[in-house]
């Protein structure tokens, strides 16, 4: 016979399985983002296959001092996190084929880099 802990544990496992399944089924939204430095006015534009995750990744790299984009890292170091803002510029339509999505993302990043007089990242 299961005690209360056994029942709670079984329910916890089912909830966890459902949460994992929902995470795996979620659709990622690709798109273009911008990072702005309010101190200098510099803008960086990049593309990401999953807009929901890119800011966290960038901020982590910047905090650790390991961002591959040297000018962005220099702005972070000189002016701090509070001077940088993140914004989603454009979300792309869902493409089933990965190469088509990558090509569309590359083209839209190039467009926004030119339109915003920004540095590509």
State residue 10's pLDDT score: 64
Lowest mean pLDDT among 17-21, 22-26, 63-67, 75-79: 22-26
Residue 98 has pLDDT above 80, yes or no: no
CATH 3.20.20.140 fits 31-120, yes or no: no
Count of C-beta atoms within a 10 Å radius of residue 13:
10
State residue 15's pLDDT score: 81
Average pLDDT over all residues of the chain: 88
Q: Please say whether the beta carbons of 49 and 117 come within 8 A.
A: no
pTM of the entire structure? 0.77
Q: Which residue has the tokens 């590509």?
A: 120
**Of 11, 4, 54, 60, residue with least CA distance to 32:** 54
């Amino acid at each position: 016979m299961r005690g209360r802990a056994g029942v709670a544990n079984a329910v916890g496992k089912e909830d966890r399985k459902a949460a994992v399944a929902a995470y795996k089924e979620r659709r990622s939204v690709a798109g273009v983002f911008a990072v702005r430095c309010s101190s200098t006015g510099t803008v960086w534009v990049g593309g990401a296959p999953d807009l929901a995750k890119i800011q966290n990744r960038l901020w982590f790299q910047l905090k650790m001092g390991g961002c591959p984009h040297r000018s962005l890292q220099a702005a972070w170091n000189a002016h701090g996190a509070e001077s940088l803002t993140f914004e989603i510029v454009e979300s792309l339509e869902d493409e089933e084929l990965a190469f088509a999505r990558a090509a569309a993302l590359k083209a839209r990043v190039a467009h926004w880099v030119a339109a915003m007089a920004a540095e590509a990242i």
